[in-house]
Amino acid sequence: GESVGLHLPTLSVQEGDNSIINCAYSNSASDYFIWYKQESGKGPQFIIDIRSNMDKRQGQRVTVLLNKTVKHLSLQIAATQPGDSAVYFCAAPPGNKLTFGGGTRVLVKP
Amino acid sequence: GAVVSQHPSRVICKSGTSVKIECRSLDFQATTMFWYRQFPKQSLMLMATSNEGSKATYEQGVEKDKFLINHASLTLSTLTVTSAHPEDSSFYICSARLTEGLAGGPYEQYFGPGTRLTVT
């Protein structure tokens, strides 16, 4: 069946270091991927998206990489800050809906 | 732009009662809204897709008679949990879809802040 999943459930990172969060997907027909950030007790917040005709997209301190060959995408956060502590989800829309991965918790150590 | 609100943010109700949760798009019109449920330390699970002016489409395993969805206007969708039981206690999150994403993507879903439901 269709699934979007993550490799690591928890990532501890030193403040100032870079973070890399990974995600695998199973549906090779997926043509659009999104990363969301969810802080405790809040709804998900859009971070960045990427279309399948791209392999890299950069935002402010974030970069998403897409490897369609191995059906893998990653989110890189540069110079991780305490405010980056949250759960990060990748998501892919099968048509009109979103399928979410299991989530990775990022803990930023001071 | 693209702000979605939910009301209430937190509700406690007794077993057997019904609870209504509102989802509003504040600065845009949303023909499609989505309702998700999230249990602690788990991912979001889509419950149903709410289309303005038509019946909601429910995901497999979600009881449509228990989770009543109404999308009467382009800015408001409601989820009513009927005859709530303790196992319905969860974090309910709605989202609204933009036809063309603000960041240039084909579309984006903007999420509300969630409603914490506790059934005692």
Q: What is the pLDDT of residues B62-85, one digit of tens each?
A: 999 999 999 888 899 999 999 999
At residue A84, the 3 state secondary structure works out as helix
Q: Does B4 touch chain A (CB under 8 A)?
A: yes
Q: Do B69 and B50 form a contact (C-beta atoms < 8 A)?
A: yes
Work out the mean pLDDT of chain A and round it to a whole number. 88
Is the confidence at residue A1, as pLDDT, over 50?
A: no
Contact assignment for A46 to B108 by CB distance below 8 Å: yes
Distance of alpha carbon B44 from alpha carbon B40, whole angstroms: 10
Q: Residue A83: pLDDT band by 50, 70, 90 thresholds?
A: very high
Work out the mean pLDDT of chain B and round it to a whole number. 90
Distance of alpha carbon A13 from alpha carbon A81, whole angstroms: 9
Average pLDDT over residues B44-48: 93
Is the confidence at residue B37, as pLDDT, over 60?
A: yes
Is the confidence at residue B98, as pLDDT, over 80?
A: no
pLDDT tens for residues B53-64?
888 999 999 999
Q: Give the per-residue pLDDT at A2.
A: 41
Q: Which residues of A touch B105 (CB under 8 A)?
A: 32, 34, 49, 51
Torsion region of A13: left, alpha or beta (phi above 0 gives left; psi -120 to 50 gives alpha): beta
Average pLDDT over residues B24-47: 90
Q: Give the per-residue pLDDT at A99.
A: 81
Q: Give the per-residue pLDDT at A7.
A: 46
Is the confidence at residue B10, as pLDDT, over 60?
A: yes
- Best A96, A99, A107 member to test B by mutation, with max B CBs in 10 Å, is A96
Residue of B nearest to A89 (CA): B43
Distance of alpha carbon B68 from alpha carbon A18, whole angstroms: 44
Q: Which residues contact B5 (CB under 8 A, 6 or more apart)?
A: B23, B24, B26, B112, B113
Q: Do B117 and B19 form a contact (C-beta atoms < 8 A)?
A: yes
Who has greater pLDDT, B112 or A92?
Answer: B112
Who has greater pLDDT, A30 or A18?
Answer: A18
Is the confidence at residue A5, as pLDDT, over 60?
A: no
Q: Do A18 and A61 form a contact (C-beta atoms < 8 A)?
A: no
Is the confidence at residue B48, as pLDDT, over 70?
A: yes
Q: Give the per-residue pLDDT at A64.
A: 97
Q: What percent of chain B has pLDDT over 90?
A: 68
Is the confidence at residue B100, as pLDDT, over 90?
A: no
